[in-house]
Structures are given as structure tokens and as C-alpha cells.
Amino acid sequence: MSKIFTLLFVIVALAYVFLLRSFRLADPSNSVNQQYRPLFLQSSVARSLFFLNRPGDGRFEYFSPEKDTVLVEIDYQVGRNPDERIEEWIANLVLETLRKDVEVVVTEQGEILDIEGLPDKALRSLARSTRSRVSGESRSYLHIVYISSSLDASSNTGLSLTANEIFIFKDRIYELSQKANVRSLIEQSTLKHEFGHLLGLEHVDSEDCVMSESVEVYEKRKYQFDAIPLDFCEESLEGLRRIEEDAL
């Protein structure tokens, strides 16, 4: 009996190590991630057990009918303030995608050093150190950090590195245009794009869709008022509908 127990333990341990390695290190498009990751994502215990924390890994929690509110914590580096309409943008974005209420808390983080070009590791550490709210039984959680710029993705205006955090790079946005209204549109578009990633959406080829890769990776050129996408295209909306159905 003890031999059987030992054998079962070894099999379970090997399976755990195999899945953990695949989920954490393998390409998201590989067969294991494609077939099994969505199954594990529907359990908060499994997400914790296998450290499932990539962008999109929290999509079922966001869409969960048991959570009627999204708690949004916004922390920003001194001088990198979010747009004054940020709360309106978030409320409309959550209503459009999740049809839920929001609670927004905005805080200036004076202890964040004025450093340009933070690497991904430093961004993750910064997100952990500034996070002060948590999700609950009736609400999911979104953390947005306004910071100078990214070292590892220097052309990006925004970035998602985890399941519930978005980084907005204000210095990069300021480099793209001298017009306040254009900067505002870029910020709004970037925020919507990154939230789409957290909900499980991938990039699309359509340049007039907010999920176009060009939204977060801007080229060095001037932008006209009407050239910045702000809407999800039908392909992205259909993707959201499928994810929502899987969450129910």
C-alpha cells in the first residue's frame, strides 16, 4: 500500500512540476497552455497553486457574475498624473466590457523614485509595493500604475505584465505629441488596449481597432486627432463574448 501511495505521490509531483514549468516558462501558444490553462484559470485555488499571473489569467474573475464591482486602484509617480477624466474613462470601459460598477481610488505615490526607463522586474516590484487594496467576494481588482517609461519596451505607451495590473508610461506619451488633446486620446486608447489584454484579448490586424498592436507600440511620428483608435472592433467584441460565456 505504501508503494502505491509513493508512486501516486511521485506521479502527482511530476505532473505538477510539468504543468508549473509549462504554465510559467513555455510560450503561451504551446499546446499545454492552449488546452489546459483555461481550465485552471476558472479556479482561484488553481491560479494560486500554479502561479497563473499572466495578462488574461484573471479574465474569469473579471467576468464572474458573483463580482458586481471592479475596485480600481490608481497609483502615480509625482509628475505623471493620470488624465483628469480617468475615472470617467474607467467607468465607461468597465460598463462597456463587463457591465459592472466601479470604485476608483487615485493616489500620488511620492516614494516612487523619479527614474526613467524601468525594467520589467522593477515594474513588477513597484506594483507590489504600491498595491494597497485587494479583491473581495463581491468585487474584482484592477491596479493601474502611472510611471515614467519602460526600459525593456521603450516604444510602449502602456504594458500589462500580470493578471490585474496595467502600466501607463506618461513620458512616452508626452514624446508623441505636443497637443494636450492628442496626448489624452493616446492615454485613453492605451488604457483600453491594456485592459483588453487583462480580459484575455489578443492583438488584431485592424489598425482602426483599439486592440491593434500599434496602440501600445507607437512609432515616432505625429498623430492626428482622428487617427487614434478608441473602440473595440467586432473581432475583439466577439472575443469578449466568448470569454464571458466561458465564465458563466
**Could you tell me if 118 and 175 lie in one domain?**
yes
pLDDT at 224 over 80: no
Q: Rounded to a whole number, what is the distance in angstroms from the first to the last CA of the chain? A: 42
Nearest to 144 by CA among 126, 109, 168, 120: 168
C-alpha span between 43 and 28 (Å, rounded): 19
**Could you tell me if 85 and 46 lie in one domain?**
no
**Could you tell me if 73 and 190 lie in one domain?**
yes
Domain end residue (candidates: 14, 36, 52): 52
**Could you tell me if 44 and 80 lie in one domain?**
no
Residue 226's pLDDT is 59
**Could you tell me if 130 and 171 lie in one domain?**
yes
Residue 64's pLDDT is 93
**Could you tell me if 69 and 97 lie in one domain?**
yes
Alpha carbon 61 to its chain's center: 13
Select, from the ranges 4-8, 34-38, 128-132, 166-170, the one with the highest average predicted confidence (pLDDT): 166-170
Torsion from C-alpha of 23, 27, 31, 35, nearest 10 degrees: 50
C-alpha span between 57 and 163 (Å, rounded): 5
C-alpha span between 34 and 38 (Å, rounded): 7
**Could you tell me if 129 and 237 lie in one domain?**
yes
Domain end residue (candidates: 32, 52, 72): 52
* pLDDT (tens digit per residue) in 68-96: 999 999 999 999 999 999 999 999 999 99
pLDDT at 161 over 60: yes
Residue 106's pLDDT is 95
**Could you tell me if 171 and 108 lie in one domain?**
yes
**Could you tell me if 75 and 29 lie in one domain?**
no
Q: What is the CATH number of the domain that holds 206?
A: 3.40.390.10
Distances 15 to 8, 57, 68, 158 between C-alpha atoms, Å? 10, 20, 36, 36
Residue of 226 and 70 predicted with greater confidence: 70
Three-state DSSP at 76 gives: strand
Q: Are 55 and 198 in contact (CB under 8 A)?
A: yes
Side-chain half-sphere exposure of 152, counting CA atoms within 13 A: 11
**Could you tell me if 86 and 153 lie in one domain?**
yes
Q: Domain range for residue 80? A: 60-247
Given the C-alpha cell 483588453, which residue does it identify?
196
Mean pLDDT, rounded, of the chain: 87
What's the mean pLDDT in 9-22?
Answer: 64
**Could you tell me if 215 and 193 lie in one domain?**
yes
**Could you tell me if 141 and 113 lie in one domain?**
yes
C-alpha span between 188 and 65 (Å, rounded): 26
Number of structural domains (the chain) is: 2
